[in-house]
């Protein structure tokens, strides 16, 4: 039988989300943390840690597919500084949490938002919009900023004692750190849960992917975060820099990918994934093998000393063949890493497309 709770909490694992749970637990109410995961955020391996260190029950909830669809269709409330659609992200999470209330017998939802803490999703108007769009007016409580907000039905009904809620606001983290001390936390989590969409370097990688593939999958977005990422026009190559990245790339590769490995010497694993442009031509395959071999230091040295090529294996469509290549960085096709410079023009183009759409052009 499913264990029941009084409240479900959006639990990113950041300090604010943990404190919000503690404030409600202090009233003798049972709270279950919902830890949402997607290709861009989520550390479900920490669930046992949260239980042990903070006494919080939590379950992981994968919203990857819906989240990626929202990103590709364009978040209705736009992106933040990089590719973070914070307002729509919160809306999706709250909508999901609402759907899970019945399953866990929960009477309300909580989130760790602090008014004014973040510029995009924690302004008063944005917080109000999120609550409205997620249709959570009657059930959503923000325990850390409750005293700055109108009383919610769960406070009015007496289920939650409003006088024991907090009125935090603004950008200072001092009150949260003080609270963490009072709760005796020995490990203080970072303010937020960690989200690559708010990082400049990841934004460039994701934009290049969205430009070259009409509907990238959640797994494509995961692949775009692993190792060294290079593109030659529409041809995408992900290369491991460390052993754990090589393993990750091997796990993520599929039959339709081109998987490059070195034969007879240690070296990186590289995965070439076709995009809308389709299969790779012979020249690109050779260039990718040459580039991958150039990051295998032993092979590169041997080749330089002897002037002889090295052997690379290329697996594709269930077949593996070996090719002889000279390790080199300058190949017949130009490989380049996507940078954050892609972000501004991509957003501008998207905005113009939206405007012309709204004007019926």
- Residues at the site binding ligand SF4, with contacts judged by CB under 6 A: 41, 84-86, 89-90, 121, 192, 195, 197-198
Q: Which is nearer to ligand SF4, 41 or 280 (CB)?
A: 41
Supply the minimum distance, in Å, between the C-beta of residue 117 and ligand SF4. Answer: 11
Q: What is the CA radius of gyration of the chain?
A: 24
Cβ contacts of 19 within 8 Å, gap of 6 or more: 112, 144, 176, 179, 180, 183
Supply the minimum distance, in Å, between the C-beta of residue 338 and ligand SF4. Answer: 20
Coil, helix or strand at residue 10: strand
Q: Dump the DSSP string for 232-300.
A: ETTEEEEE-SSHHHHHHHHHH--TTSEEEEESSS----EEEE--TT-SPPHHHHHHHHHHHHHT-HHHH
Q: Which is nearer to ligand SF4, 42 or 267 (CB)?
A: 42
- Report the C-alpha gap between 147 and 165 in whole angstroms: 7
Token code pair at residue 48: 């046992």
Supply the minimum distance, in Å, between the C-beta of residue 266 and ligand SF4. Answer: 37
Q: Which is nearer to ligand SF4, 203 or 239 (CB)?
A: 203
Q: Do residues 71 and 85 lie in contact, with contact meaning Cβ atoms separated by under 8 Å?
A: yes
Supply the minimum distance, in Å, between the C-beta of residue 139 and ligand SF4. Answer: 19
Q: Which is nearer to ligand SF4, 35 or 300 (CB)?
A: 35
Q: Which is nearer to ligand SF4, 40 or 236 (CB)?
A: 40
- Report the C-alpha gap between 139 and 267 in whole angstroms: 54
Supply the minimum distance, in Å, between the C-beta of residue 71 and ligand SF4. Answer: 10
């Amino acid at each position: 039988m499913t264990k029941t709770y009084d409240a479900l909490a959006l639990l990113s694992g950041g300090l604010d989300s943990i404190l919000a749970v503690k404030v409600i637990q202090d009233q003798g109410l049972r709270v279950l943390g919902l830890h949402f995961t997607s290709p861009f955020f989520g550390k479900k391996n920490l669930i046992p840690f949260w239980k042990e260190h903070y006494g919080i029950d939590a379950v992981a909830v994968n919203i990857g597919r819906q989240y990626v669809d929202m990103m590709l269709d364009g978040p209705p409330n736009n992106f933040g500084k990089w590719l973070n659609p914070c307002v729509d992200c919160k809306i999706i999470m709250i909508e999901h949490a609402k759907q899970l209330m019945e399953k866990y017998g929960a009477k309300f939802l909580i989130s760790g938002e602090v008014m004014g803490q973040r510029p995009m999703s924690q302004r008063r108007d944005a917080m109000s919009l999120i609550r409205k769009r997620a249709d959570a007016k009657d059930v959503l409580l923000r325990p850390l900023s409750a005293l700055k907000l109108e009383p919610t039905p769960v406070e009015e009904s007496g289920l939650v004692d409003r006088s024991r809620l907090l009125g935090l606001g603004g950008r200072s983290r001092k009150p949260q750190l003080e609270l963490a001390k009072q709760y005796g936390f020995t490990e203080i989590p970072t303010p937020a849960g960690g989200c690559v969409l708010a990082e400049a370097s990841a934004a460039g990688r994701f934009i290049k992917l969205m430009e070259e593939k009409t509907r990238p999958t959640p797994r494509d977005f995961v692949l775009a975060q692993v190792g060294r990422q290079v593109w030659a026009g529409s041809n995408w190559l992900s290369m491991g820099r460390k052993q754990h990245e090589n393993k990750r790339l091997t796990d993520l590769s599929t039959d339709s990918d081109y998987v490059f490995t070195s034969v007879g010497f240690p070296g990186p694993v590289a995965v070439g994934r076709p995009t809308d442009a389709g299969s790779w031509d012979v020249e690109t395959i050779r260039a990718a093998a040459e580039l991958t071999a150039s990051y295998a230091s032993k092979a590169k040295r041997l080749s330089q000393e002897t002037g002889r090529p090295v052997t690379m294996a290329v697996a594709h469509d269930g077949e593996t063949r070996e090719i002889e290549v000279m390790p080199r960085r300058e190949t017949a096709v130009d490989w380049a890493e996507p940078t954050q410079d892609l972000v501004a023009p991509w957003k501008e183009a998207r905005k113009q497309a939206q405007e012309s759409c709204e004007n019926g052009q």
